[in-house]
């Protein structure tokens, strides 16, 4: 399979909301101890999972031309459209949640629109990572902006969670992954639950070492 992390190249866009696809691609590559090489108008890497080879791609064409990079790599390695997972930001989903789906329109996302145009097919998988909305900012300012301090504190956990969704999709298929990960969000402990856990820790259970 081909996992495409959508984003924009350059320091200006580093770790902005619109580049969350790049962040997942980097984490996935790190998880499987692989490195990126330049090619196909972007950066790509190969990794093995359960004996099968898969690819990771970060297009460097800028978002609205992402499909050019995807089409080049998919054609070269003979990857079918249905075996492509596009990872991208989505303002209509709250931060920390994700949604897997197969096919459909571009939802207003220029990277997805470009992929549909260049592949000539909508039948690829999308992993939508929620970035939420901010009524105080215009759309462009929000998506190209940095994550808030509160979001940044939870960002690595969100990316780890999304990597698990990708791996599940590869191993068990889109239907299982959708049922497992869609609309779910890692439950945060309430203050009362934390205090309750503290009370349950007895003195003789504490290891002074």
- The 3-class secondary structure across 161-206, one letter per residue, is HHHHHHHHHHHHCHHHHHHHHCCCCCCCCCHHHHHHHHHHCCHHHC
Mean per-residue pLDDT, 101-108: 95
* 2-205 has CATH 3.40.50.1470 classification: yes
CB of 95 within 8 A of CB of 150? no
Residue 54 is among the residues annotated as catalytic for this protein: no
pLDDT digits (tens, 9 = 90+) for 28-53: 999 999 999 999 999 999 999 989 99
Residues 6+ apart with CB under 8 A from 204: none
pLDDT category, 175, cuts 50, 70, 90? very high
Q: What is the pLDDT, as a whole number, of residue 209? A: 34
The separation between CA 169 and the C-alpha centre of its own chain, rounded to angstroms, equals 12
CA separation for the pair 124, 82 (Å, rounded): 5
């Amino acid at each position: 399979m081909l996992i495409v992390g959508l984003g924009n190249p350059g320091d200006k866009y580093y770790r902005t909301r619109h580049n969350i696809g790049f962040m997942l691609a980097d984490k996935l590559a790190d998880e499987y101890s692989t490195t990126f090489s330049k090619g196909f108008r972007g950066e790509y890497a190969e990794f093995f999972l359960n004996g099968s080879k898969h690819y990771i791609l970060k297009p460097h064409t800028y978002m609205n031309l992402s499909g050019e990079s995807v089409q080049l790599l998919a054609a070269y390695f003979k990857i079918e459209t249905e075996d492509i997972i596009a990872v991208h930001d989505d303002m209509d989903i709250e931060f920390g949640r994700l949604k897997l789906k197969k096919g459909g329109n571009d939802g207003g996302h220029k990277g997805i629109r470009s992929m549909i145009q260049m592949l000539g097919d909508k039948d690829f998988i999308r992993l939508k990572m929620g970035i939420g909305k901010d009524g105080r900012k215009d759309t462009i300012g929000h998506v190209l902006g940095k994550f808030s301090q509160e979001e940044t504190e939870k960002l690595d956990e969100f990316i780890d969670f999304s990597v698990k969704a990708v791996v599940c999709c590869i191993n068990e298929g889109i239907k299982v992954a959708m049922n497992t990960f869609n609309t779910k969000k890692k439950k945060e402990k309430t203050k009362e639950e934390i205090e309750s856990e503290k009370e349950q820790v007895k003195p003789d259970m504490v290891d002074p070492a």
